[in-house]
């Protein structure tokens, strides 16, 4: 009995607790579930622009180094010791056409000219003498004929014609020697062949030079040139002058000089006519007039400066100009519908540069597209606009296009 009493004492409370827990669970299970409410994801904030066609003048990018159009190795045309050089005869020195740059000791050549001059005078005297003797011979022959002392015509030797011809030949030779001596004397003075600059000096006062010795490297400063490589793709967007045709393409050349951006205007005047077999490019030549005479405040277009070029190319018809960052996977735009949901659309890109893509198809006038698409766009994703953001919903403006060097003509 004692055991049963103890069992009843502990079992009854446990049974009551178990029944209560079971009843509570049954009540919870029987309670109707509240309706499930779908949580709608918030619309993604995007910037939108309206597609509008515009005429575009393409700019083709290239690069190269400024070089002189005319360069010369100045050489000595006579032998001798250099006795004088001009102050401008230094690396970087400027000179004008006809300026005296170098003088070679003229003493020997002055003496040679005097000897040649004397030789001419001797030859002239000999010619005069032979003329007189030929005249006397002709008179003697006529006198003999009048006395019937001789018959037949007089021979050339009798009339001293060979002697006169020899004297005339000696005179020609003496005059040639004189002209050569005069030229040699003139060549002791080396003059500038054009307006230009000394690039490298190779001789100085006191140095003995032989005929053909290089004295300096120089170049003309009237025009500088830049060889610019163009790819096959680039040629589609520029109209190069054909061989024999006149015409030039405007080009802007940019470089960093002393920490500041410098720009020079030039013209593409010709192409080299053949493709470089190693690089598969066609080089065109741009010219910069008076590179060392820039406008006030500008830097000269120094030879050797590396420049980037923007060549004005063809004007295309009506194209859409779209920021490159608006495209996904290279050729996909996200179009914003009237329901503010986005859908992907593949577009036809005519050309693209660092900032913009130029589209000819796959997009309709007036369609809205995401300028800044969502990070992970999905078809049907809902988007919203920031109405307070300036320019929201407007097409790409003229100023934005101008930043790339592409001109909008309409």
- Whether residues 213 and 79 share a domain: the answer is yes
Q: Which residue has the higher pLDDT, 191 or 396?
A: 191
Question: Can you read off the two tokens belonging to residue 87?
Answer: 């102050």
Task: Specify the pTM.
Answer: 0.71
Residues 290 and 300: their CA atoms lie apart, in Å, by 9
- Residue 404: which pLDDT band, with cuts at 50, 70 and 90? very low
Residues of the chain with pLDDT > 70, as a percent, come to 81
Q: Is residue 28 part of a domain?
A: no
* Token pair belonging to 350: 């005519």
Please check whether residues 190 and 153 belong to one and the same domain.
yes
Provide the domain limits for residue 87.
73-218
Does residue 205 share a domain with residue 145? Answer: yes
Can you give the pLDDT at residue 240?
Answer: 83
Q: Are residues 119 and 197 in the same domain?
A: yes
The span from the CA of 396 to the CA of 394, in Å, is: 7
CA pair distance 259, 175, nearest whole angstrom: 63
Report the range out of 32-46, 199-213, 245-259 with the highest average pLDDT: 199-213
Domain check: are 115 and 187 in the same one? yes
- What is the per-residue pLDDT for 167? 85
Q: Verify that 225 and 287 share a domain, yes or no.
A: yes
Tell me, yes or no, whether 134 and 210 share the same domain. Answer: yes
Q: Please say whether the beta carbons of 310 and 340 come within 8 A.
A: no
Please check the confidence at residue 400 and state whether its pLDDT lies above 50: no
Helix axis angle for 107-146 and 161-186, nearest 10°, is 170
DSSP H or E stretch at residue 121: helix 107-146
Strand partners, 177: none
Residue 364 lies in a domain: yes
| In-domain check, residue 137 | yes
Phi/psi of residue 64, nearest 5 degrees: 180, -175
Q: Are residues 277 and 310 in the same domain?
A: yes
Do 298 and 163 fall into the same domain? no
To the nearest 10°, the Cα dihedral for 176, 180, 185, 188?
Answer: 170
Residue 325 sits in a domain of what CATH number?
Answer: 2.40.420.20
Total number of domains in the chain: 3
309 with 349, same domain?
A: no
Last residue of a domain, one of 218, 236, 271: 218
Is 3's pLDDT higher than 90? no
Which of 141-155, 203-217, 219-233, 328-342 is predicted with the least confidence, judged by mean pLDDT?
A: 141-155
* Domain end point (choices 218, 249, 284): 218
| Measured distance CA(43)–CA(378) in Å, rounded | 12
Same domain, 94 and 203: yes
CA 157-162-164 angle, 5° bins:
115
Pick from 314, 335, 356: which residue ends a domain? 314
- pLDDT grade, residue 34 (50/70/90)? low
Task: Tell me: do 200 and 235 sit in the same domain.
Answer: no
Contact 383, 45 (CB under 8 A): yes
Rounded to an integer, the average pLDDT of 80-94 is: 96
Q: What letter would DSSP give residue 326?
A: G
Asked if residue 273 lies in contact with residue 17, where contact means CB atoms within 8 angstroms, the answer is: no
Residue 323 belongs to a domain: yes
Instruction: Give CA–CA dist 135/130, Å, rounded.
Output: 8
């Amino acid at each position: 009995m004692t055991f049963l009493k103890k069992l009843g004492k502990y079992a009854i409370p446990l049974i009551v607790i178990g029944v209560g827990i079971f009843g509570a669970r049954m009540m919870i299970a029987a309670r109707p579930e509240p309706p499930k409410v779908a949580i709608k994801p918030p619309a993604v904030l995007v910037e939108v622009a309206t597609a509008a066609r515009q005429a575009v003048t393409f700019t083709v990018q290239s690069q190269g180094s400024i070089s002189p159009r005319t360069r010369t190795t100045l050489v000595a045309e006579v032998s001798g010791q250099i006795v004088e050089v001009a102050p401008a005869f230094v690396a970087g020195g400027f000179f004008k056409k006809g300026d005296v740059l170098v003088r070679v000791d003229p003493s020997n050549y002055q003496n040679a000219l005097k000897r040649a001059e004397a030789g001419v005078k001797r030859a002239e005297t000999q010619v005069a003498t032979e003329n007189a003797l030929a005249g006397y011979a002709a008179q003697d022959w006529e006198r003999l004929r009048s006395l019937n002392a001789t018959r037949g015509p007089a021979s050339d030797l009798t009339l001293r014609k060979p002697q006169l011809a020899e004297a005339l030949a000696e005179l020609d030779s003496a005059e040639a020697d004189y002209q050569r001596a005069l030229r040699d004397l003139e060549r002791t003075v080396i003059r500038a062949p054009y307006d230009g600059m000394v690039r490298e000096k190779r001789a100085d006062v006191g140095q003995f030079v032989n005929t053909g010795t290089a004295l300096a490297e120089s170049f003309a400063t009237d025009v500088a040139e830049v060889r610019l490589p163009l790819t096959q793709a680039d040629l589609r967007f520029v109209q190069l002058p054909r061989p024999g045709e006149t015409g030039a393409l405007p080009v802007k050349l940019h470089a960093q000089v002393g920490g500041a951006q410098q720009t020079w205007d030039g013209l593409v005047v010709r192409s080299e006519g053949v493709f470089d077999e190693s690089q598969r490019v066609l080089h065109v030549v741009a010219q910069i007039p008076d590179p060392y005479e820039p406008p006030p405040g500008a830097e000269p277009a120094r030879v050797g400066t590396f420049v980037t070029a923007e060549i004005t190319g063809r004007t295309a018809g009506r194209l859409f100009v779209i920021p490159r960052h608006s495209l996904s996977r290279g050729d996909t735009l996200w179009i914003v519908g009237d329901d503010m949901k986005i859908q992907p659309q593949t577009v036809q890109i005519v050309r693209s540069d660092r900032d913009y893509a130029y589209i000819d198809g796959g997009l309709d006038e007036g369609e809205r597209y995401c300028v800044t698409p969502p990070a992970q766009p999905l078809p049907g994703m809902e988007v919203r606009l920031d109405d307070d953001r300036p320019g929201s919903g407007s097409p790409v403006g003229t100023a934005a296009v101008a930043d790339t060097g592409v001109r909008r003509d309409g």
